[in-house]
Amino acid sequence: MTQQRIGRTPAESRERWPELGGRSRAAGAPNVVVILLDDVGFAQYGCFGSTIQTPAIDRLAREGLRYVNFHTTAVCSPTRASLLTGRNCHAVGFGHVTERLAGYPGYSMRLPDSAATVAEILRGNGYTTWAVGKWHLTPSYETGPQGPFERWPLGRGFDRFYGFLGGSTDQYAPELVRDNTPVSPPRTAADGYHLSADLVDESIRQIRDLRAVAPNRPFMLYLATGCGHAPHQAPAEWIERYRGVFDAGWDAERDRVLARQIELGVMPPGTRLGPSNPGVPAWTDLTAEQRRLASRMMEVYAGFVSYTDAQIGRLLDALEATGDLDDTVVMLCSDNGASGEGGPEGSVDEGLYLNDRPQRTEDGLAHIDELGGPRLYNHYPWGWAQAGNTPFRWYKQFTHAGGITNGLLVRYPGGGAPAGGIRRQYHHVIDIAPTLLDLTGTAAPAAVRGVAQQPMHGVSMRYSFADADAPGHRHTQHYEMWGNRGIWQDGWMAVCRLQPDGAGAFPPQRPPATLDELRWELYDHRSDPSECDDLAEREPARLRAMTELWWAAAGRYDVLPVDNRARAERWPADPPAPPGSDPARARFHGPGGPYERGVAPRVAGRSFRMYAEVTIGDATAPGGRPRGVLYAVGGGHGGYCWYVQDGQIRFEVAQSSVQTETVAAPFVVAPGRHRLEVAVDAAADLSARIMFTVDGAAVGGGSVSRLLKRVPIGSGRTYVGHVMSSPVSGAFTAPNPFTGELHELVVLPGPPAGAAPAVQRETADAEMREQ
């Protein structure tokens, strides 16, 4: 190597340039593409037996490997944490989703610096890294417009980010972030916008831009789609492709899919269907109208998956066009089993599930022609989720096979992954990061940025690429989700369900008094992968040893304490507030936002008051009477909005896409400077009285039958003086800025609903007077 020499002049010196641009392709570093789907079950790819057409995913199977004994963590955030770090989810603080944080190590929702992501490691070895799509790994109290950003994608190893921070979002009006800044979608649903296509457009753009300036630099793309999480939304023409396809129902679909799985070699001959889950009716027991609605909901879901598959196909074609495809490790899987969160009848709006509201067939029938479109946040019935997890039992959130078993596709012809193979070795999502490091020739570092690293808990799957019969490198794996527990050991699975009465609803309404009341089940997955024969009574010694092994793993990997509380207790009314914030008062100095749900004032499920100092212009001026948003939280799928329409003050509650209530004051605000106030007094049942005042004088009000218990995860942003994307009210379109001058707006949250209303009003009145 040429030695650098510094002399008095260039003639007396010798240059040596630092290495620029990272490693080159010639050094043998493949590109990495990891595609993570959401709530797509084991049996919802064509190459795994599904009726749903997925030619791009099937191409990965045809040109690569199918891992049919691959497992995840039963819900989204923990799987993502494990995938990116190679560690067990509780050991890196992700025992559940980011919104369900708790003050215990395994539930902090803070990826520790001692668990570097695979993106951090690869970027430190010359890779360009991109995260596109769903993140859901930032604690809610760190999602504010000023960060801190250490646990946003750019703080965890990605050079660029384009996607959404939360657990779900509207596919037509998503709550997008570019790098560290909220942005609006580039188009609207009316212009043909859909998030799946936008995410792949962004991925292709980043790849082409890199290749234009650095044709030999390796890259990592982490593409996490919103498909097939609710809302199930897709272009109408894709939904119509499935008209009538599912009319035979979910029972017939399970039979058909299992036969196809055996034919394809995905499941071995003799595999039986797991017992039907409690609460799932036989298709023949449904009324004709119930069958019509359920069929349509599945058609929508299938169109969603197929449309997203087509976008994946565009990405593969783009990689082929740049000459990168065969030099790229492509991995694709889902984050958990198919979701039963639509309940027995399905739902036109997932916000109903989150707010403990009944989901009725008549609601779905009234809006059947809108399913899959931009208005609704629909989710199919759990009978289809059961079919989507064929041949397994239960769903997402459960540690039975249906909740944790997912198909994994691996395409890498340059790395010894043969075309068309099936692999049956037991593997877990924690094995992806070690596999990528192995394939890229990258050692797991002992320290990253000066922080000593936890050992990776996963193992590389590379040993299985060339040898379908190679002995598996995994011997145990523990599971816990919502108090459900499980442990696998050399082909045996012990599993314990928290719901004691067998009902399908989850989390439980009536938990056991103690964990010791719960019964463990035992299955031999080598001969009974679908968990039909419970061997707990016949193998008591084995079961006892495995449950003891689970408790040992729970202590070692920060699983404890096991949360066995009822549903109402699990979601804290007052989770941690952002550092430096005042939960009792929030002051906005003029228009602002969006503010992510974790840092905005807490107004769901409680009484609260707001006042705004405004100046109203002359109603005869251009624009006419004052109008526009004062304060809004959420969107058209659920939220609150305080706004002015034609000079009239209004407060609107959207309990869901199809359930809204509006209270208006019979009063027109005159030009000049005013103090506008709204008081929301909630009763224990979340009914509420709404009162308006202008300059201290009451001007009217009314009541609503029910406030929101929780703002929907996918549309939870707060805005002051305007809105973005999908507005709460159908009376206007975004951005609907306030046409007067908004000097200041103050929010005074009260205690959760159920506290004495008189006390809440007295406290709020006193704080108002202090202002």
Q: Which helix (H) or strand (E) holds 134?
A: strand 128-134
Chain length of the chain: 771
The reported pLDDT for the residue numbered 398 is 95
Q: Which residue in 136, 229, 367, 427 is the catalytic one?
A: 136
Task: State the burial class of residue 182 (Cβ atoms within 10 Å of its Cβ: 0-12, 13-18, 19+).
Answer: middle
Alpha helix (H) residue ranges in 149-287: 195-213, 236-240, 250-264
Query: Sign of torsion, CA 573 482 88 597?
Result: negative
Lowest-confidence pick of 327-341, 403-417, 741-755: 741-755
The CA-atom distances, in angstroms, between 618 and each of 615, 735, 741 are 10, 22, 12
Secondary structure (H, E, C), 21-32 = CCCCHHHCCCEE
Q: Give mean pLDDT, residues 323-344.
A: 95
76 is catalytic: yes
Kindly report the pTM of this predicted structure.
0.94
The half-sphere exposure of 255 on its side-chain side, counting CA atoms within 13 A, is 6
* DSSP reduced 3-state for 166: coil
505-521: pLDDT as tens digits = 444 555 566 788 889 99
229 is catalytic: no
- Our CA dihedral for 653, 659, 660, 661, rounded to 10 degrees, sits at -90
Q: Does the bond joining 148 to the residue before it have cis omega, within 30 degrees of 0?
A: yes
Output the DSSP codes for 512-541. Answer: -SSGGGSPEEEEETTT-TT--S--TTT-HH
How does pLDDT run across 700-756, given as a tens digit for each residue? 999 999 898 878 776 778 999 999 877 888 888 889 999 999 999 999 998 887 654
Find all residues with CB under 8 Å of 146, minimum gap 6, and list them.
none
Supply the DSSP symbol for 248: T
Helix spans in 323-396 (H): 350-354, 361-366, 382-388
Tell me which of 47, 71, 76, 428 is the catalytic residue: 76
Q: How far apart are CA 101 and CA 563, in angstroms?
A: 12
Task: Give the pLDDT of residue 597.
Answer: 80
Here the tokens at position 347 are 């739902």
pLDDT given at position 540: 98
CA angle in degrees (0–180, nearest 5) for 522-526-529: 70
* pLDDT value for 512: 61
Residue-level pLDDT at 637: 84
Contact present, 608 and 747 (Cβ < 8 Å): yes
32-471 CATH, one of 3.40.50.300, 3.40.30.10, 3.40.50.12780, 3.40.720.10: 3.40.720.10
**Rounded average pLDDT over 680-692:** 93
pLDDT at 494 over 60: yes
* Domain positions in the chain: 32-471, 481-570, 586-770
Residues whose CB falls within 8 Å of the CB of residue 174, separated by 6 or more in sequence, listed in order: 164, 185, 195, 198, 226, 725
Percent of the chain predicted with pLDDT > 70: 92
The answer, yes or no, to whether residue 411 has pLDDT greater than 90, is yes
Spatial distance between the Cα atoms of 131 and 571, rounded to a whole number of angstroms: 29
Task: Give the relative orientation of helices 195-213 and 288-321 as an angle to the nearest 10 degrees.
Answer: 10
Residue from 262, 303, 260, 283 nearest 382 by CA:
283
Mean pLDDT value across the chain = 91
Helices (H) and strands (E) in the chain, counts: 15, 29
What is residue 352's predicted lDDT score, i.e. its pLDDT? 72
481-570 maps to which CATH number?
A: 3.30.1120.10
Among 165-174, 299-308, 423-432, the minimum mean pLDDT is found in 165-174
Confidence of residue 487 (pLDDT cuts 50, 70, 90): very high
Say yes or no to pLDDT of 762 above 50.
no
The mean pLDDT value for 602-612 works out to 92
- CATH 2.170.190.11 at 586-770, yes or no: no
Q: State how far the alpha carbon of 126 is from the alpha carbons of 1, 205, 329, 493, 588, in Å.
A: 20, 20, 16, 41, 43
Region 452-461: mean pLDDT is 98
Region 555-569: mean pLDDT is 86
pLDDT tens digits, one per residue of 148-207: 999 999 999 999 999 999 999 999 999 999 999 999 999 999 999 999 999 999 999 999
* Low-confidence winner among 223-237, 297-311, 642-656 (lowest mean pLDDT): 642-656
Is-contact 108 93, C-beta < 8 A? yes
What are the backbone dihedrals phi and psi of residue 540, each rounded to the nearest 5 degrees, phi first? -65, -35
Q: Is pLDDT of 617 > 60?
A: yes
In one-letter notation, the amino acid at residue 608 is F
Task: Give residue 24's pLDDT band: very low, low, confident or very high (50, 70, 90).
Answer: low
The CA distance from 487 to 559, in Å, is 13
Q: So what's the pLDDT on residue 1? A: 60
Does 292 have pLDDT greater than 90? yes
